[in-house]
Amino acid sequence: MYIDSHCHLDFPDLAANIDSVLASMHQHQVDKALVVSVCLEDWPGLIQLVEAHDALYASVGVHPGYDTVPEPTFDDLFERARHPKVIAIGETGLDYFRLEEPLDWQRRRFALHLEVSKQSGLPSIIHTRNAYADTLAIMREADSTVGGVMHCFSEDWDAAKQALDLGFYISLSGIVTFKSAHQVHEVAQKVPLDRLLIETDSPYLAPVPYRGKTNQPAWVVHVAERIAQLKGLSAAQVAQASTHNFYQLFTKTHTL
């Protein structure tokens, strides 16, 4: 019924308890989860985990916050993208929150991922923090028809509208359940239902009522419930729409 479109089940806290994590998913009617790559050094463990469980998909990419890892090449990403269970490129993007200029390496890495997305036909998973103008500029320059998703969206409605105009989906996380997240609430109300995804970003950003705990895909239900309240819909309507949207965007799933 539900799909968690972005989580990190290969991270130690979750991987060590994967059986209970998957059981909780099943109990809460979370049928699938996309396990998102952050660096190639950890990718073998990620893909081994995903291969072992029918409920899991994978991506391949290097997170913009990873500044001490070797830079990926086109072939590094493209060849891994051929794996049957890899349905997306990323997580990629820009993050100016922790790191300081010069960040040309980060912008080049982002552009490379978008080129791999274009050539592989797999959509991009975009991370952006304190860098929205540059993120959009590079997306426009890439001029890809493949599209993707703005993950864990926390910008305002104007920023969301620009991403939507480029053909991207908007994914909302547990942040939408936080009382102080007013601009995310506005985005949840305004984003078209046919362009919406839901996620946990596990193990981070646990939604209310679990805030501060280790997040897990089962709790994506609370994200859907809060979006439903803001839109004046039922949680089932949000679940149905976001699940449909997931399969519309990640078309490689149709072959699995």
- Residues annotated within the binding site for a divalent metal cation are 6, 8, 91, 127, 151, 201
DSSP line for 18-81: HHHHHHHHHHTTEEEEEEPP--TTSHHHHHHHHHT-TTEEEEE---TT--SSPPPPHHHHHHHH
> Where is 159: in which H helix or E strand?
helix 157-165
Residue 243 is encoded by which pair of tokens? 């699940």
> How do strand 169-172 and strand 196-198 relate by DSSP bridges?
parallel
For residue 112, give the nearest of 76, 136, 87 by alpha carbon.
Answer: 76
What is the separation of C-alpha 246 from the centre of its chain, rounded to a whole number of angstroms?
A: 11
- Residues annotated within the binding site are 6, 8, 91, 127, 151, 201
- Non-local (6+) Cβ contacts of 232 within 8 A are none
